[in-house]
Chain A
């Protein structure tokens, strides 16, 4: 099962902000982390990630700096800002509402794929 594109796009900002809230990181590591967290179900591309990182930087939710790693290779690290943390909290509140609502509506139904969902 792959998650639909729209859903991936909608959840992209809170996901990246959430990962950056764990600590400074860079593009490749962020992508790895998303893969790891979603068990490979979230299909992220570089075309989604990097423009998003640049957007977060432009909006002031993240700041970046270049660090050199092994030899001449340099890497752009992103760090979440205070504004970014506030945005994350706001997004989280909204997502909680959505998730709670979905759970509420699915609570009494026959479970579709996951039987545990019905027991909860």
Chain B
């Protein structure tokens, strides 16, 4: 072997060693530089003492000790490196990633400011939050969500047909919210105010999946996005609450009551901006932090299962009928939504190829007990459907939702059972859930568009 060969081989060994070092997140490129210099010093000395470069490298690496130990020591001094730090420090991924995240930041600022300003635009036309609350109830989603959709579509570089579809759907939403002659006191107004945001959120979902709107994987990504978005939004809402409380009390202390500013400016504009900021956070942190929604579902699935089973046992034991007022039906709808959420978010984090395990059985138990409870509730209702439960948009909407959720969970339970018995692959369950998004969208649009005229704008 010539010296030249030996040298090249040595360089290759250094390069390989460097790669190993950089895999540790406790050790950063500059540390690797410093340690490499150390290693080279050690190798040079050993070579001078008569070892071949090969042997010298081996001995030097051995002397440095295991990387585990080394990175443990580094972690004690640099514990902050074990925490992925957030926001405006875009120093992680080289210049390309940096310009990209800077452009993202600008898009975020534009969309968030746009959303915040949009909320106050109707005020220019004499619609104040104070006197025209019903206008804002119907239109808040219409003012804020287009900016979210715009941000997502920009990030996805959505094609023209997708953008055209987005514009058309938001326009349709604007028509549905404002064309029908709904009184401020009408039930339809409440129903529309609840369902239009759902319909428009799924429109934002179209911006999220963009051209791949048929892909089950991308839809599942949107479901993940929704869960994380919700958590970030709640966190920001908590922060906003603390800010408002301090603002109110400090100004009160000097004799100024900032009530009007807080409730007509800070909260609505802040909420609209937070919708976009939460989306940006999810997108920025997607590959950086562990998603929190699946962790919460893991935690709460056993607890909810226990609670539902206890409720079932209590109902059967006492043979008390369930008192089904309208509020109760909404309560049970929410219960189904929670169960569906628990199911959805543990599906979203599951490795599709892993074999069925105890947690899947637990989920089946959860879904089946929720179904059993809901069937009891529906049995109570059917007796009175004509006299008490027909007739108003509220009841029709609540009942329709109950049926939609019931169908979803029943088929999910069936698929889950087959999966546990290894008859169907896990992907079937995933496809069922992602395909069902269309059902939610269709229902929300029906409620918003068809219900008011059918129920004579009651």
Binding site for B on A (CB under 8 A): 26-29, 31, 45-48, 50-52, 54-55, 58, 66, 73-76
Contacts and interface: CB of A to CB of B under 8 A. Distances in A.
Interface stretch (B34-42, B137-145, B436-444): B34-42
13 contacts: A27-B38, A28-B37, A46-B64, A46-B65, A47-B72, A50-B35, A51-B74, A51-B78, A73-B37, A73-B40, A74-B37, A75-B34, A76-B30
B34 A76 contact: yes
B165 to A, nearest CB: 54
Given A47-B69, A74-B37, A28 B77 contact: no
Given A27-B34, A50-B35, A55 B40 contact: no
Contact of A50 (B31, B40, B41): B31
A75 B37 contact: yes
A28 B42 contact: yes
A95 B357 CA distance: 61
Given A45-B70, A76-B34, 9 more contacts: A26-B37, A31-B38, A46-B64, A47-B65, A47-B73, A50-B34, A50-B35, A52-B77, A74-B37
Nearest to A29: B41
Contacts of A76: 30, 33-34, 37
Given A28-B41, A28-B42, A73-B40, A54 B33 contact: no
B76 interface: yes
A66 B29 CA distance: 13
Contacts of A66: 33
**3 residue pairs, one from A and one from B, having the closest CB atoms:** A28-B41, A47-B73, A51-B77
Contacts of A51: 73-74, 76-78
The residue in A28, A48, A73, A75 that gathers the most chain B C-beta atoms within 10 A of its C-beta is A28
B70 A46 contact: yes
B414 to A, nearest CB: 56
Contacts of A26: 37
A52 B77 CA distance: 8
The residue in A26, A29, A46, A76 that gathers the most chain B C-beta atoms within 10 A of its C-beta is A46
Nearest to B77: A51
Nearest to A50: B34
Contacts of B40: 73
A28 B69 CA distance: 18
Interface in B49-96: 64-65, 69-70, 72-74, 76-78
Contacts of A73: 37, 40
Interface in B359-407: none
A54 B31 CA distance: 10
A45 B65 contact: yes
Given A28-B42, A45-B65, A50 B74 contact: yes
Given A54-B77, A54-B78, A55-B77, A47 B70 contact: yes
The residue in B30, B35, B38, B65 that gathers the most chain A C-beta atoms within 10 A of its C-beta is B38
A32 B41 CA distance: 10
Nearest to A49: B38
A118 B70 CA distance: 41
A27 B34 CA distance: 8
A5 B247 CA distance: 55
B354 to A, nearest CB: 37
The residue in B34, B73, B74 that gathers the most chain A C-beta atoms within 10 A of its C-beta is B34
A48 B77 CA distance: 10
Nearest to A75: B37
Contacts of B69: 45, 47
Nearest to B70: A47
Contacts of B76: 51
B33 to A, nearest CB: 6
Interface in B237-295: none
A46 B37 CA distance: 12
A23 to B, nearest CB: 17
Contacts of A50: 31, 34-35, 38, 73-74
The residue in B31, B69, B76, B77 that gathers the most chain A C-beta atoms within 10 A of its C-beta is B77
A28 B36 CA distance: 10
Contacts of B42: 28
